Amino acid sequence: MTEQLRLMAVHAHPDDESSKGAAAMAMYSAEGVDVLVVTCTGGERGSVLNPKLDRPEIWENIAEIRRAEMDRAREILGIRQAWLGFVDSGLPEGDPLPPLPDGCFGLMDPEVAAEPLVKLIREFKPHVITTYDENGGYPHPDHVMTHKISMVAFEAAADADRYPDAGEPWQPLKLYYNMGWSFKRMTLFHEAMLELTGESPYTEWLKEMQERRTAREGQPEWPDPDKRVTTKVPCGDFFEARDDALRAHATQVDPDGFWFAVPLNLQQKIWPTEDFELVKSFVETSMPEDDLFAGVR
């Protein structure tokens, strides 16, 4: 291709872009790809997960703070970013689960909520789009809705009869799902940390994953992301930028916590890729891939 390559990553909240596919985005940006993150909500109902910042004045200004954090993360990754403007649904907890708040993103009609995303696709003209799988990566209502509107928008963007007021049609060429932590990846990191330090931050998480797997015996197997991966993007050199961007979301992550427990050089040695599943393509490609733009370039 002679024109500049363009990548759009659709995420639910500010900070999601820095924990899912961030190193790949930073790598592509450094290569000259135009990268745009679309953030569906403002994260207004997110928790303050950094104990050093869990103070009343933070909670009172959380919406403004999360926007400022997003600006810092965007600069670190070298990308562009746009807000869709929907209201965070929060993560319902309890048994039974409480209803979602009125007017939130998770309660919207996907056909209605997809229109501003269609407009952005037609304006930005991405060749490749990344988003979440049908489970949202994990079952947060905003993540599931992000998946739904991404699927609607990917199909509708090229159809002149759909959303006729949202700009001239554009056909994205490939659609990927971000693939999260697999059992294999976590096990490898767990074993490496035990060997290195005698302790592992993954002990409880692995135990929970194992329980979820065995609890479903006789039922459909608990979905392991590793079995769905089609595309492993080697971007270990940009893990530091990924972590710096995640730390920029200071209210959302403990800088001394779980996400940063494994030394970067160990991560780069054991699992130097970010992983994706190709779900739609209008170009020919062969599996496995190591490039989101395979078949496009």
pLDDT (tens digit per residue) in 32-71: 999 999 999 999 998 888 888 888 777 788 889 999 999 9
pLDDT (tens digit per residue) in 268-281: 999 999 999 999 99
Report the alpha-carbon distance of residue 269 to residue 175 in Å, rounded: 28
Residues 85 and 153 in one domain: yes
Residues 172 and 187 in one domain: no
Q: What is the CATH number of the domain that holds 157?
A: 3.40.50.10320
Report the alpha-carbon distance of residue 297 to residue 292 in Å, rounded: 10
**pTM summary value:** 0.94
Task: Please give the annotated binding residues for Zn(2+), written as ranges.
Answer: 13, 16, 143
pLDDT (tens digit per residue) in 70-98: 999 999 999 999 999 999 999 998 888 89
Residues 83 and 17 in one domain: yes
Q: What is the mean pLDDT of the chain?
A: 93
Residues 13 and 140 in one domain: yes
Asked whether the beta carbons of 29 and 81 are under 8 A apart, the reply is no
Domain hosting residue 75, numbered range: 6-181+272-281
Task: Please give the annotated binding residues, written as ranges.
Answer: 13, 16, 143
Residues 171 and 89 in one domain: yes
How many structural domains comprise the chain? 2
Residues 120 and 32 in one domain: yes
Asked whether the beta carbons of 131 and 147 are under 8 A apart, the reply is yes
